Structure 1
Amino acid sequence: MGAVKTKRMPRAVREQQMLDAAVQIFGQRGYMAASMDEIAELAGVSKPLVYLYLNSKEDLFTACIRREAGALVEAVRAGVRRDLPADRQLWEGLGAFFTHTGEHPDAWSVLHLQARTHGEPFASEVTAMREEIVAFVTQLILAGAREAHRDPDLPEREVAGLAEALVGAAESLAAWANATQGVTARQAAATLMNFAWAGLGDLMAGRPWAPPEGQPGSHTG
Structure 2
Amino acid sequence: MGAVKNKRMPRAVREQQMLDAAVRTFGQRGYRSASMDEIADLAGVSKPLVYLYLNSKEDLFTACIRREAVALTAAVRAGVGPGLTADRQLWEGLRAFFTHTAQNPDGWSVLHRQARTHGEPFAAEVAAMREELVAFVTELILVAAREAHRDPSLPEHEVAGLAEALVGAAESLAAWANATPGVSAKQAAATLMNFAWAGLGGLMENRPWSPPPPLDSHG
Tell me the TM-score normalized by structure 1: 0.96
Aligned: 1:78 with 2:78: yes
SS in 2 for 1:135: helix
How many Å separate the matches in 1 of 2:75 and 2:204? 27
RMSD: 1.3
Name the aligned partner's letter for residue 11 of structure 1: R
Identical aligned residues as a percent:
82
Displacement of 1:220: 5.7
Aligned partner of 1:212 in structure 2 is: 212
How many Å separate the matches in 2 of 1:117 and 1:82? 37
Equivalent pairs counted in the alignment come to 219
Aligned partner of 2:142 in structure 1 is: 142
Aligned partner of 1:39 in structure 2 is: 39
Aligned partner of 2:6 in structure 1 is: 6
Aligned partner of 1:56 in structure 2 is: 56
How many Å separate the matches in 1 of 2:130 and 2:217? 37
The gaps in structure 1 that reach 5 residues or longer are: none
Aligned partner of 1:199 in structure 2 is: 199
How many Å separate the matches in 1 of 2:218 and 2:213? 10
Displacement of 1:2: 4.1
Name the aligned partner's letter for residue 28 of structure 1: Q
Tell me the TM-score normalized by structure 2: 0.97
Mapping 1:10-21, distance limit 5 Å: 10-21=10-21
Change (3 A) 1:219 1:119: farther
Displacement of 1:6: 2.2
SS in 2 for 1:203: helix
Aligned: 1:156 with 2:156: yes
Change (3 A) 1:118 1:80: same
The gaps in structure 2 that reach 5 residues or longer are: none
SS in 1 for 2:94: helix
How many Å separate the matches in 2 of 1:62 and 1:214? 49
Name the aligned partner's letter for residue 40 of structure 2: A
Change (3 A) 1:149 1:179: same
Aligned partner of 1:95 in structure 2 is: 95
Displacement of 1:219: 6.0
Aligned: 1:30 with 2:36: no
SS in 2 for 1:187: helix
Displacement of 1:5: 2.3
Aligned partner of 1:180 in structure 2 is: 180
1:140-163, CA deviations, whole angstroms, 9 ceiling, x for partnerless residues? 000110011011111111100000
Aligned partner of 2:171 in structure 1 is: 171
Displacement of 1:204: 1.1
How many Å separate the matches in 1 of 2:201 and 2:3? 60
Name the aligned partner's letter for residue 193 of structure 2: M
Change (3 A) 1:91 1:43: same
1:118-152, CA deviations, whole angstroms, 9 ceiling, x for partnerless residues? 00000000000000000000000001100110111
Runs of 4+ in 1 over 2 A off after TM superposition: 1-6, 218-221
Aligned partner of 2:66 in structure 1 is: 66
How many Å separate the matches in 2 of 1:64 and 1:219? 56
1:50-98, CA deviations, whole angstroms, 9 ceiling, x for partnerless residues? 0010000000000000000000000000000120100000000000000
